[in-house]
Amino acid sequence: MRYSPLITDLYELTMLAGYLKEQMHDKPAVFDLYFRTNPFEGGYAVFAGLEPALDALAGLRFTEDELAYLAGLGLFDRDFIAFLRDFRFRGTVVAPPEGTVVFANEPLCTVSGTLAETQLVETLLLNIINFQTLVATKAARVCHAAAGAEVIEFGLRRAQGPDGGLSAARAACVGGATGTSNVLAGMRFDLPVRGTHAHSWVQAFPDELTAFQAYADAFPDSTVLLVDTYDTLKSGVPNAIIVALRLRQRGHELRGIRLDSGDLAYLSREARRMLDEAGFPEVRILASNELDEQVIDSIRDEGGRVDIYGVGTRLVTASGAGGVALGGVYKLVAIDHEPKMKVTSDIAKATLPGEKRVLRVQDADGHFIQDVVCLAGENTPAPGDTVFDPTNPLRHTDLREGTEPVDLRTKVMADGRRTRPAESLTDMAARCREQLELLPAGTRRFVNPHRYKVSISERLKDLRGEMMNAAHIGRRRL
Domain definitions of the chain by residue range: 136-316
Pairing of strands 410-414, 404-407: unpaired
3-state SS string over 114-160?
EHHHHHHCHHHHHHHHHHHHHHHHHHHHHHHHHCCCEEEECCHHHCC
Give strand pairing partners of 338.
Answer: 335
How far is the C-alpha of 13 from the C-alpha of 116, rounded, in Å?
Answer: 9
Q: At residue 174, what are phi and psi to the nearest 5 degrees?
A: -60, -40
Looking at residue 193, the DSSP 8-state letter turns out to be B
Instruction: List all residues 6 or more positions away from 179 whose beta carbon is below 8 Å from its beta carbon.
Output: 152, 153, 173, 186, 191, 192, 193, 194
CA 378 to chain centre: 31
How far is the C-alpha of 153 from the C-alpha of 169, rounded, in Å?
Answer: 6
Give helix 264-277 / helix 237-249 axis angle, nearest 10°: 30
First and final C-alpha spacing in the chain = 51
How many CB atoms within 10 Å of residue 92? 19
Q: What CATH number matches the domain at 136-316, 3.20.20.70, 3.30.1490.100, 3.20.20.150, 3.30.70.260?
A: 3.20.20.70
The predicted-structure confidence for 209-253, as pLDDT tens digits, reads as follows 999 999 999 999 999 999 999 999 999 999 999 999 999 999 999
pLDDT at 394: 87
What is the sign, positive or negative, of the torsion defined by CA atoms of 5, 8, 13, 16? negative
How open is the CA angle 130-131-132, to the nearest 5 degrees?
Answer: 100
pLDDT at 476: 53
pLDDT at 184: 97
Instruction: List all residues 6 or more positions away from 365 whose beta carbon is below 8 Å from its beta carbon.
Output: none
How far is the C-alpha of 359 from the C-alpha of 103, rounded, in Å?
Answer: 12
CB of 331 within 8 A of CB of 342? Answer: yes
Instruction: List all residues 6 or more positions away from 314 whose beta carbon is below 8 Å from its beta carbon.
Output: 138, 290, 291, 292, 320
> Buried b vs exposed e over 438-461: b needs ≥16 C-beta within 10 Å?
bbbeebbebeebeebbbbbbbebb
CB of 454 within 8 A of CB of 371? Answer: yes
pLDDT at 478: 47
How far is the C-alpha of 374 from the C-alpha of 391, rounded, in Å?
Answer: 15
pLDDT at 320: 78
Segment-wise mean pLDDT, segments of 10 residues, the chain, 478 residues: 94 98 97 96 97 97 98 97 98 98 97 98 97 97 97 94 95 98 96 95 98 98 97 98 98 98 98 98 97 97 98 92 80 96 76 97 96 96 94 90 96 97 96 98 95 96 91 59
How many CB atoms within 10 Å of residue 204? 12
Pairing of strands 410-414, 92-95: antiparallel
How many CB atoms within 10 Å of residue 74? 6
